[in-house]
Amino acid sequence: MPRTTLTLTVFALLATLSSVLMGCETEETETSTPCVVNLESVSPNAAMTGETATLTANPLTTVYDSAVYIGGSRATVMDVDRTACEACDSCRDDEQCGACGDCDSCDATCTECVETLTFKVPDTETGVTTLQLFNAYGNTNTLDFEVLSSDTGTLPSDTGTNDTGLNPGKKPTP
Whether the CB-CB separation of 54 and 120 falls below 8 Å is answered with no
pLDDT of residue 29: 46
Q: Residue 7 to residues 10, 11, 19, 83: CA-CA distances in angstroms?
A: 5, 6, 18, 66
**Averaged in consecutive runs of 10 residues, what is the pLDDT profile of the chain (174 residues)?**
52 51 51 77 96 96 95 96 94 89 88 96 96 94 94 53 53 52
The pTM is what? 0.67
- Written out in words, the top-level CATH class of the domain with range 35-83+115-148 is mainly beta
Domain boundaries, the chain: 35-83+115-148
Distance between CA atoms of 104 and 147, rounded to whole angstroms? 39
Q: Which residues contact 113 (CB under 8 A, 6 or more apart)?
A: 58, 82, 83, 84, 85, 87, 88, 89
Q: Which residues contact 174 (CB under 8 A, 6 or more apart)?
A: none
Which pLDDT does position 100 carry in this prediction? Answer: 81
